[in-house]
Each structure stands twice: as structure tokens, then as C-alpha cells.
Amino acid sequence: MRYLPHGQSDRREMLAVVGVDNIDDLFRDVPSSALLKTPPDLPDHMTEMAVERRFADFANKNISAGSGPFFCGAGAYHHHVPASVDHLIQRGEFLTAYTPYQPEISQGTLQTLFEFQTQVAQITGMEVANASMYDGSTACGEAVLMACRATRRKKTILSGSLHPQYRDVVATMTRYSGNSLRDNPVGMYRVDDLINQIDDETACVVVQNPDFFGNLQDFTRLAEVAHAKKALLIVVVTEIISLGAVRSPGSMGADIVVGEGQSLGNGLCFGGPYVGLLATRQKFVRTIPGRLCGQTVDAEGRRGYVLTLSTREQHIRREKATSNICTNAGLCALAFSIHLTLLGEKGLRHLARLNHAKAVRLADRLDAIEGVEVINDSFFNEFTVSLPIDAAEAVERLAVQGILAGVPLSRLYPGDAALENHLLIAVTETVTEEDMDCLVTALKEVVK
């Protein structure tokens, strides 16, 4: 077997050194009733080629994003990742290293985390960022728990235009924490309504920008009112490329910014693994969940990096830890960071402008179709259209033609009659003029 180095003679020699006759003697602490006498009922080992064939079968039953016109978003975006990113993250020294607990032989991982934290803090307009979370949705849940700790309050107000699955994850993570959630009607994106809900018991208000339907807003006034009541503003960003074109949450007064970093460096991969971002103000640094990398010096005074402030974490604080999280999304964070380094300031801004330009172009073309209406006043690279027919049905019919036209809102809000005809459409730099032609032509037919 290709992954197992021992031959039978090795095993015999080693058993002799251990002083037992056969391998099952080493399993003698297992109750004999529980030790399997025969292997489990599964196929035996396969050659590399056979495994590849089996997986090609799986793959061939799916339509990939790159194989045709593609417009799905809703928190996961189809962007082009430079070849060098994927090459670098597959270097064994990054891919097959553990968490950098031994800093003397982990400076590669640690320095890239330090650079990652700096990049995340910069684009979100915040002072500090952690070394990443599982994904945007769990980062959002952690941010709410963090805000409750920092304010010693228990009430959270959720915007009605927060990604509905993020909302559900927040509900799961806070269910037994003694915190209460105030939901708002889906689709409500009037800042004034949220402002009126903030009171002296509010720990935080959670909003998203661009919101789930693609709209952009300025949260400066919301932040001011929240701060006047000593509550925190949490801003969620699920399309991180947008920060190359729009003002950062930090500049609007956000106290915690959480994001989904998948758009940079990480493929769609059917929903994971992705990379959660969490950034905040310096004064909250000791209430941050997850890992933090910090700068220091070695015994000879040379600059180096270590994991730090670990007394917040579960292996020391146990039940009093800031979170139960024991890992980050190391390799995904590295991919994010390499991609952002290749882009730099200039590239990120250009990429954002390119995404927005294409989205504006497609929005205008779709809006011109009779019966189709773009409902957004503003957007970055994603917007919502209303169709004269059921959106899920339209998507299915277009999928048959190889066009993945977007995410029907009924997929996320089943049973909400008001949203049945609404389709969420994302347009990234990967969309060509021909892709737009295909969608426009086909959609005209479908809505006829």
C-alpha cells in the first residue's frame, strides 16, 4: 500500500522489540466484544488511477462555474485566482505544517499571518485583525459574542438584509449564551428603523455592506447613534473585493468588521473551506476570539513573530475562553494574502472597478428587458432583479442551457411569496460580454 512504509518483516521486528506476538496484543485494552474480527464492509484499497477515475465520475455530474456563463453569488463569488497563488499554497512547507506553536521553526507561517492581519486591518479600515476564522458566517457569530462580552450587554439587533444563513449561524451560536436577538423583517434596509431600535441594553447592531440584496449604504449615522448608546456596530462584508471600490466599514465608524475572504485566493469549492475575517479596534484586542500573531524579537534581537495573547484561548482559559475555536483557516488565509499581495493597492482597486463596471453594464441590459427590473438603487457587483415568473423556475430552465443565472431568493427564503420572483445576480471580472449576451438572450425567451 503506497502510503504505508512498513513491510511484513519490519512489523515482525518491531513487534519483537515491543515484546508482543501479534498486533492485536497491542489492542488488548479494547473490550474484546468491540474489537472487529473482520474489516468493515467497505471496498478494499484502490490504485491512484482508480481513485482518480472515481472522482472524475463525481466531477462530471456537476456543471462547473468556469464552463459557461455564470452569475451566482450570495456570499460566495467566482473570481479568477492567479496560478502562482495555487502553486505557492501547495508548497509542502506551507501545506503540511501544523499551527505555528514552535516559532523558531514556523516563521514562514507566522510572518505570512502577520502580513495577513495587516492587510485585513487595512482594507476594513480597522486597527487590528485576527489570524482568521472558519468563514464569514461563524466570524459573524463570534463577533456578536465578542460585542456582548465587550459591552457586558445581551441584546443584538440584526438587520433584515443580513445574509439569511449568517443570521441562522448567529442564532445557533448565541442560543445558550443568554443573549437575545432582535430580527428585522427580511429586506428591510432603512437605517432609520435600526436606529430607533437601539437602546441602553443593546450590545450591538449587525448590518451588511453590500447587503444580501446587493445594496450599498453609509452607516456613519448608525454608528454614531450606536456609540451614543454605548452599543457596538458590527459590519459584515461577504464580498471583500468591494472594499477596493467603496468606503471601508472602519471609516463609517464600525467597531467590529467581519468578512468572508473567499473572493481572494480561494475557489468556490461548493461552499468551503473559506476564510473568515475579523477586525476591530485596538481597545478590544483582548476580547478577540481566535488566533493572533504578534511581532517580537529573538534572543539575539532579530525581529520575529509568535502566536500571542493566547490566554484568551481555550487551551488555557478552558470554559472561560473567548471562543472554543482552536484553529484558524491558515492555508485559506495564506491564499487570500498572496492574492492580495499580487494585486496590491493598484490591483485591488482596478479589480473592484472592473467588477463594478461589468455589473453596471449587465444591470442596464437586464433592466431593458420587458418585465425584468433591477430593484437596487445602488450595488457593487451583485444586484437583485424581479422577474415576471418564478425565479427558481427561470434558473432551472437556463441551467439546462448551461447558463447559471444566479441565486433565486426562494432558495434562501422558501415560502416567502414576495420574493419568489426575485433573482440575485453576481457579475465578476470572469464574466465576458459573450456571457452577458447569452444570459440576456436566454432570459428574454424564458420570461416571454
| Residues of this chain, 71-100, that bind another protein according to CB under 8 A | 72, 74-76, 78, 82, 84, 86, 88-100
Among 148, 195, 233, 299, binds another protein (CB under 8 A): 299
As given in the structure block, the three cell numbers for residue 293 are: 500573531
Is residue 114 involved in binding another protein (CB under 8 A)?
yes
User: Residues 335, 404: contact at Cβ < 8 Å?
Assistant: no
**Residues 231-260 interacting with another protein (rule: CB under 8 A):** 243-248, 251, 260
Can you say whether the dihedral through the CA atoms of 143, 147, 153, 158 is positive or negative? negative
Is residue 384 involved in binding another protein (CB under 8 A)?
no
Is residue 13 involved in binding another protein (CB under 8 A)?
yes
How distant, in Å, are the alpha carbons of 86, 118, 153, 354, 413 from that of 124?
25, 10, 25, 20, 29
Among 224, 377, 416, 445, binds another protein (CB under 8 A): 377
CB-nearer residue toward another protein: 196 or 324: 324
How distant, in Å, are the alpha carbons of 133, 188, 333, 377, 413 from that of 165?
16, 16, 22, 24, 10
As given in the structure block, the three cell numbers for residue 127 are: 486597527
Is residue 428 involved in binding another protein (CB under 8 A)?
no
Distance CA 334, CA 116 (A): 7
Partners of 257 in beta bridges: 235, 279
**Residues 143-162 interacting with another protein (rule: CB under 8 A):** none
Is residue 318 involved in binding another protein (CB under 8 A)?
yes
Residue 74 sits at φ, ψ, to 5 deg, of: 60, 40
Is residue 60 involved in binding another protein (CB under 8 A)?
yes
The secondary structure element, H or E, covering residue 349 is helix 330-367
Kindly give, in sequence order, each residue whose CB lies less than 8 Å from that of residue 138, ignoring residues fewer than 6 positions away.
169, 173, 276
Is residue 184 involved in binding another protein (CB under 8 A)?
no
Binding mask 267-286 for another protein (x = CB under 8 A): xxxxxxx-x---------xx
CB-nearer residue toward another protein: 111 or 386: 111
Q: Which stretch binds another protein (CB under 8 A): 182-190, 198-206, 211-219, 365-373?
A: 211-219
Among 154, 165, 181, 373, binds another protein (CB under 8 A): 165
Is residue 52 involved in binding another protein (CB under 8 A)?
yes
Is residue 8 involved in binding another protein (CB under 8 A)?
no
- Sheet of 407-408: strands edge to edge? 373-374, 382-386, 422-426, 407-408
Is residue 230 involved in binding another protein (CB under 8 A)?
no
User: Residue 178 carries which side chain, given as an amino acid letter?
Assistant: G
Is residue 261 involved in binding another protein (CB under 8 A)?
no
Rounded to a whole number of angstroms, the minimum distance from the CB of residue 33 to another protein is 7
Rounded to a whole number of angstroms, the minimum distance from the CB of residue 281 to another protein is 12
Distance CA 223, CA 320 (A): 30
Q: Which of 192, 188, 234 is nearest to 213 (CA)?
A: 188
Among 56, 185, 200, 370, binds another protein (CB under 8 A): 56
3 state SS of 367? helix
Rounded to a whole number of angstroms, the minimum distance from the CB of residue 367 to another protein is 11
Is residue 179 involved in binding another protein (CB under 8 A)?
no
**Residues 323-342 interacting with another protein (rule: CB under 8 A):** 323-332, 334, 338, 340-342
Q: Which of 59, 39, 63 is nearest to 51 (CA)?
A: 59
As given in the structure block, the three cell numbers for residue 296 are: 517580537
CB-nearer residue toward another protein: 190 or 286: 286
CB-nearer residue toward another protein: 198 or 423: 423
Measured torsion, CA atoms of residues 188, 192, 195, 196, in degrees rounded to the nearest 10:
-90
